[in-house]
Amino acid sequence: MGSPSPVLSKNLPLVENWFTGPGTPGRETNGRSVLVVYITPHGLGHAARTCDVLWAFRTLYPEVPVTVVSRLPNWFLTSRKLEVKERVAAFDVGIVQRDAVEMDIPATLVKLRDLMADWDALVRSEAEWLNSQKARLVVSDIPAIPLQAAALAGVPSVAVTSFSWDWIYSAFRHQDPFWQEVIEKFRNGYKSCPLLLRYPFSGPMKSFERVEDIRLVARPGEDRRRELAALTGADPRKPWLLFCLSHLEFQSPNCLAEFSDYQFLTAGDLNWEAPNCFSLDPKAHRFADLVASCQAVVTKPGFGILSDCAVNNKPIIYVEREGFLEYPILVDGIKRHLRGWHTPLQSLYRGKLGPALEAFSAGLPAAPEPLQTPAPDEVAHRLYQLMIRG
């Protein structure tokens, strides 16, 4: 596994007693000073939320060195201009996807068998690495191995997430007896973590004994409609819909041409050829800015996109996710906190968005319970407290 060159600020000495913020000023750290953050490779929504927390953390506590351990695309962290050190590694496999919506459960289990075979060795080696790096606090969203490694290394840890893999995988236990072994392995890993900071739109995470609920941390985007119109040729006088789908094959690449009163944008890999469809480079634009620049989002329900739609007050047109335990919880979140409209997945594949667009044009009902103001600063401060207090 490679390690990109550090992007750390200079003059960050690893010395004792240098924490002097709120909590316990001057607390003895035994030479430990590094915040180590692990991010699941499953999609980009959880990574985006973690980066929003880290952006706040680096703003509030620039003297604290941060290392991010992930297998995200190279551009993802650098595009957010976070002064963090990066290490390329992954400690869970998430769920293998056939496309942006449909899961491949047998392929997921194949990858999990390999992970399970290496699990104990990875825990031991990662515990040694954490000690070698002077880790002061481990944060995970939501690999279990680093949490178990932190416990072995004697390093405090905290999970910050909206679901756990033992819960998600429990939906598949009837398909193969090996799933139960996977579930138990993840459950035991999570039990070694003393605290869960739980986002809105969260599933039940019973493996964690101590739980604190936190507010959303998504940062609002900036409306860059004029700039994007000049870049793409999209008509700024028409409604824009953003497709938040990483890769999807329409049955006909030209299927959205009939909706000429709308402009469709994507930062993913969609096979469209209609003149009212425009592709954007995800490396060149902050995703929250794309959400803020459009009138609505077309997507599968996911924690990350619901957060972006909530903080930018954008309606969401969504398709079902069969077999994914988080789906009904996310749909409930849409109905309570967002303006939403369900369109069948097969209709999306065929480009049959007529009913959804009619509902959008008529005006979707206001959310009955708008979410509170996002609080990345509060979560960043909570992490700092945990670093000091242990």
Q: pLDDT tens digit string along 52-103?
A: 999 999 999 999 999 999 998 878 887 788 889 999 999 999 999 999 999 9
Where in the chain is CATH 3.40.50.2000?
34-217+375-389, 225-362
User: Taking residues 272-287, what's their average pLDDT?
Assistant: 93
pLDDT score of 28:
39
Q: Is the pLDDT of residue 13 over 50?
A: no
Predicted TM-score (pTM) of this structure: 0.89
Query: Cis omega before residue 142 (within 30°)?
Result: yes
User: Taking residues 212-236, what's their average pLDDT?
Assistant: 96
pLDDT score of 23:
31
CA distance 343 to 97: 20
Let me know: does 165 contact 92? Beta carbons within 8 Å.
Answer: yes
Q: Is the pLDDT of residue 181 over 80?
A: yes
Q: How many Cβ atoms from other residues are within 10 Å of residue 305's Cβ?
A: 27
Helix segments in the chain, DSSP class H: 45-60, 74-78, 105-132, 145-153, 165-169, 178-191, 225-232, 287-293, 303-312, 326-337, 345-349, 354-362, 376-389
Using only C-alpha atoms, what is the Rg of the chain? 21
Q: Which residues pair with 263 in a beta bridge?
A: 240
Q: What is the DSSP string of 235-276?
A: -TTS-EEEEE-SEE--SSTTTTTT-TTSEEEESSEE----TT
Buried/exposed code over 38-68 (b: 16+ C-beta within 10 A; e: otherwise): bbbbbbbbbbbbbbbbbbbbbeebeebbbbb
For 225-362, CATH number out of 3.40.50.2000, 2.40.50.140, 3.40.50.720, 1.10.10.10 equals: 3.40.50.2000
Provide the mean pLDDT of the chain. 90
User: Taking residues 271-288, what's their average pLDDT?
Assistant: 93
Q: Is the pLDDT of residue 24 over 70?
A: no
Percent of the chain with pLDDT over 90: 82
CATH class label, 34-217+375-389: alpha beta
Q: Which residue has the higher pLDDT, 23 or 374?
A: 374
Please give the single-letter amino acid code of residue 170. S
